[in-house]
Structure formats: C-alpha cells, structure tokens
C-alpha cells in the first residue's frame, strides 16, 4: 500500500481576527472627514446646517434687541442727568418715540431723573418720607395725586413701586417713575380711577425725609397720630384682600400704640385709654387678617392680647372661637362663642357660627363612637334615622319604582301603539 504524503494534504486556513470585548479602536475624526476628503453628501448637509444655525442666532439677537451690542454698552454707561435707573439700581436709557418713553414689558420699575437733588442724601428703610406724587395712566388720565404724602419706607403703607424707587432718590430730586401693574395696584386696580392690570407713570418729588423716631421717645399725641395712620392704612389693605400687607401695617401700628410702662386697669388715664383703645383695634384687626392667611397660632396670640385687656370684647371672643374651631378644638370654640352670644344675643353671625361648631362637634362625637365600636369588635346599633322611621327605611322603594315604570310603559304602548307605529313609519 503506497504511503500518503501527509505534507501535501495539510491545508492552511485563514485565521480571522477576533475582537476582544471591551477593547475598541479609536474612530477617525468624523468632522475632519466631512470637511476633508469625505462623502460629498455629508459636506453639503454640514454646510446647510451651519448656515441655518447662524440664521437662527441672528434672528434671535435681533428679536431680543441685543443686535447692537456696542450701542447698548455705551447706553449703560451714560451718566447725563436724563439717564434712567431701574428698581434694582442698574442704569440704562429707555428708547423715546415722539417724546414719550417706551419701556420694555420686562421692566418692573424705571426712574428717569427730571431734576437733580442734593447728592448723597438718600432715605433708606425705616425713614419717614414726605413726597409730592402725581400718577398718570397710559391714556393720560391723572390719578393718585397727593400734594404731601407721608409714610415710612418698609412698613407697607404704599405700593411696592414707590417703596422700591425712593431709596434711589436724593432729597429735592424730581423724577418720572414708571411702575408696572404688578408693583402698582395689580389685578385689583383702584376703582374707579385705576383699572385692573394698569401700568402707572408717577412724577415724584422727594420733599423731605428723616429717620423714624423710636415710639418710646415720642409723646402720646404724636404716637397716636402715627399709629392711627398705620392702622387706617392696614384697614385699606385688608378691604382690598391683601392681608399680608395689612398685617405689616397693623404690626407697625401696634409698635407705636403699645407701651410697656402703661398699667392697664379700671383706673386708666383718659389719654392712655384713648391710645389703648386704638391699640386693641389694631390687634383685633391683625388677628382677623392672620386668620385669612391661615396663621391660626399667631392669630390666637393677637386675640388673646386683646382679651387680656378687654375680656368682654365680643369681636375678639367671636374670632378666637372661630380660630379654635378651625383648629379642630370644638369644645373650646363653643365655650368662647357662647360667651360672645351672651354679650350680644342678637348677633346673627355668632348664632350661625355657634350652630356650625355644634354640628361639627356632634359629627366628631359620632365618629369617635363608631371608631370605639370597631376597635372593641361590637356590632353597630341601629342609627337614629332607622329608629325614627323604621317602616320608611324597610319599604322596598326600588322594587316598587321599577314596577310602576314598567306598568306605565306597557300602558303607553297599549294605548298609543298604533299612533307611534304610524309616526315612525
């Protein structure tokens, strides 16, 4: 048998390269391929996309008014007497068309100096200022005119716009102040002169200002005047439904109408009795405003301060009873409402609130009984409704109603059947 040459039968196969997991080759730069000697289609797509990107960016800059950057920078660095200052203190000139200042919608407040004042004589928070103010709507109507308006910066006595601008004014300065509606009279307006969401442009002159003196350093007559002014302004905000601003004014009024050295009792001096009565009004109203913003714990403290001096104050008793009811303390609420009702038996409001609290207390007691029964595993007794009307509750109303409806349909079909058949055919 001839030998086989094995060397001739061995075939060499091509070994494929095996990729190792986790090891990747660095790809070539795709952008360089596009720009360089790559696919022509990719080159065209790249050029078109870059052109569209530049076009969109240019349109955005034109729409936002940032197209002329050098002009905007020169304008921001303007220091002439007619430059404007926004509420944040950032300078910038508004455009003018036909002599009227055109203010961007995003601007909240803007000041344009008409007459320079004494340099570096500006009021700050806590200063009492005297200003001459005249407002003007966009249609030219004169509104909110005051020859001498006195208020304290930071106490919330005036709109936000004026409180924001005045710390940027010098004594004797006259300025035109643009106030957006949000920082003027808002969505409520000031009927009938100022409509809702109205922007107002004021001409403001800072006549004088001085630091507000501490209440302890003022005589009773002066404290009475300042405290009454702040309390009345708080009432104005309360009637507008802006309770946070009202609380701010009431709190400032209480500071001027309170005196730790006073001894409250039956033998109170007439002048002290007057300022005490004004203080209790401010505390009582502040408690009512705190109830509206659901600050119940703070409202209770305000009302308790009133009852400490006047235990038979009906308004304070009623409001305290209402607050306790809102906190879920029904028994205590009923106690105070009963006291208020004894003092004013004809008060319809107290009657309604007391009936409401009694009903809530009854429902709460029944729910507690039901909970105890479930905890002890007892069967529930027949309800009061079942005890009163057992026959009515057991009567099969649903079955009888279905029977009556069925009989009625049959009678209608029997009597009016031919006519209905002709009508539909």
Residue 136 phi, psi dihedral angles, 5° rounding: -145, 130
Structure tokens at 386: 């079942």
Question: What pTM does this model have?
Answer: 0.62
Distance of CA 407 to the CA centre of its chain: 61
Mean pLDDT of 319-345: 92
34-88 tens-digit pLDDT: 444 455 566 556 666 666 666 666 665 555 544 443 333 333 333 334 444 444 4
Per the CB < 8 A criterion, the answer to whether 176 and 201 are in contact is: yes
Which H or E element spans position 423? helix 397-424
Residues 6+ apart with CB under 8 A from 181: 187, 196, 197, 198, 199, 200
At 421 the pLDDT is: 62
75-101 tens-digit pLDDT: 333 333 444 444 444 334 344 343 334
**Mean pLDDT over each residue of the chain, to the nearest integer:** 76
CA R_g for the chain? 40
Rounded CA-CA distance 115/170 in Å is 10
DSSP per position, 286-322: HHHHHHHTT-HHHHHHHHHHHHHH-TT-HHHHHHHHH
At 404 the pLDDT is: 77
357-402 tens-digit pLDDT: 999 888 888 887 888 777 777 655 544 445 555 545 556 667 777 7
Per the CB < 8 A criterion, the answer to whether 85 and 170 are in contact is: no
Rounded CA-CA distance 96/84 in Å is 12
Rounded CA-CA distance 41/45 in Å is 6
The CA-atom distances, in angstroms, between 161 and each of 84, 108, 175, 267 are 15, 8, 13, 46
The residues that bridge with 177 in the sheet, in sequence order, are 111, 202
**Dihedral of the alpha carbons of 274, 280, 285, 287, in degrees to the nearest 10:** 170
| pLDDT greater at residue 26 or residue 159 | 159
Please report the domains of the chain, with CATH numbers, ordered by start residue: 30-57 (no CATH), 81-212 (3.10.50.40)
Per the CB < 8 A criterion, the answer to whether 286 and 251 are in contact is: yes
Q: What is the pLDDT confidence band of residue 12, given thresholds at 50, 70 and 90?
A: very low
Residue whose pair of structure tokens reads 């709109």 in the numeric block: 159
Which H or E element spans position 292? helix 270-292
Residues 6+ apart with CB under 8 A from 287: 299, 300, 302, 303, 306, 316, 319, 323
At 251 the pLDDT is: 93
Strands 200-211, 127-136: pairing kind:
antiparallel
% residues pLDDT > 90 (the chain): 45
């Amino acid at each position: 048998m001839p030998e086989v040459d094995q060397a001739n039968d061995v075939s060499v196969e091509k070994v494929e390269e095996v990729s190792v997991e986790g090891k990747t080759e660095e790809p070539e730069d795709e952008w360089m391929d596009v720009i360089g000697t790559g696919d022509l289609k990719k080159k065209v797509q790249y050029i078109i996309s870059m052109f569209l990107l530049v076009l969109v960016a240019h349109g955005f800059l034109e729409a936002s008014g940032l197209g002329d950057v050098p002009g905007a920078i020169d304008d921001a660095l303007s220091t002439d007497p007619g430059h404007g200052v926004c509420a944040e203190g950032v300078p910038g000139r508004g455009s003018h068309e036909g002599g009227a200042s055109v203010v961007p919608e995003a601007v909240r407040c803007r000041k344009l100096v008409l007459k320079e004042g004494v340099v570096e004589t500006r009021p700050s928070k806590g200063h009492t200022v005297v200003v001459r103010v005249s407002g003007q709507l966009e249609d030219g109507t004169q509104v909110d005119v005051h020859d001498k308006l006195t208020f304290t910066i930071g106490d919330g006595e005036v709109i936000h716009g004026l409180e924001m601008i005045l710390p940027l004014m010098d004594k004797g300065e006259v300025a035109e102040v643009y106030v957006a509606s949000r920082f003027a009279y808002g969505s409520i307006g000031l009927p009938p002169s100022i409509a809702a969401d109205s922007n107002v442009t004021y001409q403001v002159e800072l006549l004088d200002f001085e630091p507000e003196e501490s209440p302890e350093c003022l005589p009773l007559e002066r404290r009475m005047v300042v405290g009454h002014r702040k309390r009345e302004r708080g009432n104005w905000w309360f009637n507008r439904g802006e309770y946070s601003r009202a609380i701010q004014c009431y709190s400032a009024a209480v500071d001027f109408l309170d005196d730790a050295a006073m001894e409250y009792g039956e033998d109170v001096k007439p002048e002290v009795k007057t300022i005490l009565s004004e203080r209790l009004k401010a505390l009582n109203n502040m408690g009512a405003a705190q109830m509206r913003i659901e600050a119940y714990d703070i409202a209770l403290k305000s009302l308790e301060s009133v009852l400490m001096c006047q235990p038979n104050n009906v308004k304070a008793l009623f409001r305290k009873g209402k607050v306790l009811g809102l906190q879920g303390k029904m028994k205590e609420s009923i106690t105070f409402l009963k006291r208020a009702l004894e003092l004013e038996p004809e008060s319809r409001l107290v009657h309604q609130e007391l009936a409401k609290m009694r009903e809530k207390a009854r429902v709460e007691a029944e729910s507690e009984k039901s909970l105890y029964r479930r905890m002890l595993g007892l069967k529930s007794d027949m309800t009061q409704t079942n005890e009163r009307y057992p026959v009515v509750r057991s009567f099969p109303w649903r079955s009888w109603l279905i029977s009556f409806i069925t009989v009625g349909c049959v009678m209608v079909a029997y009597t009016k059947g031919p006519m209905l058949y002709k009508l539909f055919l």
